[in-house]
Copies of this chain bind each other. A is one copy, B any other.
Amino acid sequence: MDHVADRLTERLRRVRALHQRSVRRREGRFLVEGPQGAREAVRHAAPAVREVLLTPGAATRYPEIAGFERVQLVTEEVSAALSADSQGVLAVVDAAAVATDEGALAGARLVAVLARVTDPGNAGAVIRAADAAGADAVVLTAGSVELLNPKVVRSTAGSLFHLPVLTGADAAASVAAVRAAGLQVLAADGRGRWDLHALDGAGAPDLARPTAWLFGTEAQGLSADERALADATVRVPVHGLAESLNLATAATVCLYESARVQRA
């Protein structure tokens, strides 16, 4: 019995170590905290889910997760020690579950490119919004937050398992890749040349065309070099006294406006 207990302790130690980036890279695995993300992992990436650690209470609340074939029951205390944000549900998933192949851009009609986005909550929220708007892929450029950071994963609410997210290329290479796939590139910028809701002047970009949106950081926006990569710069109109939009809000408005026009 002690031998079994020791083996479990060692396994749990290794799960907990996945909070560290270096361990995630070495092991090629990451954590999915919380029922929403774990459910989508089990539903859309089951072969890549190594195991799901569940408290008895969570197993009762989430039968669709408890029915998965590799479940380890753990006490509330152990679950809390493994993650403060799991609500009793913690999945260990192979990095391969997240499609990051450049081939994902072939035939794409709507793509979000995030340039050097460092806030995990923002990155995750944009991935979730892109999924909802029906985007075919998201690109996180080099210099962005690590995609498999637990807070990014949690903020996507499972959307990470719904659409490919490409990482590692800088903004110039990312823009070249989406352009090679036939998409126009629009930079979302607070001081952009065109108003998103008044794209009817001569030379205005046509949102019906396949489009990659380029978004910058919330604090600084896009650099001049990044803006210059785009075919046009477009601003989300700000009607009230707000000085700016947060990144997730701006991305939501742009992506949904593209979806509306492309699907009209």
Chain A contacts to B: CB under 8 angstroms = 40, 44, 125, 128-135, 157-159, 162-163, 197, 236-243, 245-246, 248-249, 252-253, 256-257, 259-260, 263-264
Contact = CB atoms under 8 A, between A and B. Distances in A.
A162 B240 contact: yes
29 contacts: A44-B241, A125-B246, A125-B249, A128-B245, A128-B246, A129-B245, A131-B240, A131-B241, A131-B242, A132-B236, A132-B240, A132-B245, A134-B239, A157-B246, A158-B242, A158-B243, A162-B240, A162-B242, A163-B240, A163-B241, A197-B259, A197-B260, A197-B264, A239-B259, A239-B263, A249-B252, A256-B256, A256-B257, A257-B260
Contacts of A260: 197, 257
Nearest to A161: B241
A133 B240 contact: yes
- One complex includes copies of this chain to the number of 2
Contact of A252 (B134, B163, B253): B253
Contact of A253 (B130, B159, B256): B256
A45 to B, nearest CB: 12
A263 B197 contact: yes
Interface residues of A, dominant DSSP: loop
A40 B242 CA distance: 9
Contacts of A197: 259-260, 263-264
Contacts of A252: 249, 252-253
A241 B241 CA distance: 35
A112 to B, nearest CB: 12
Contacts of A263: 197, 239
Contacts of A257: 256, 260
A132 B162 contact: no
A130 B162 CA distance: 29
Between A40, A157, A246, the greatest number of chain B beta carbons within 10 A of the residue's beta carbon is seen for A246
Between A237, A242, A256, the greatest number of chain B beta carbons within 10 A of the residue's beta carbon is seen for A242
Between A40, A130, A249, A259, the greatest number of chain B beta carbons within 10 A of the residue's beta carbon is seen for A249
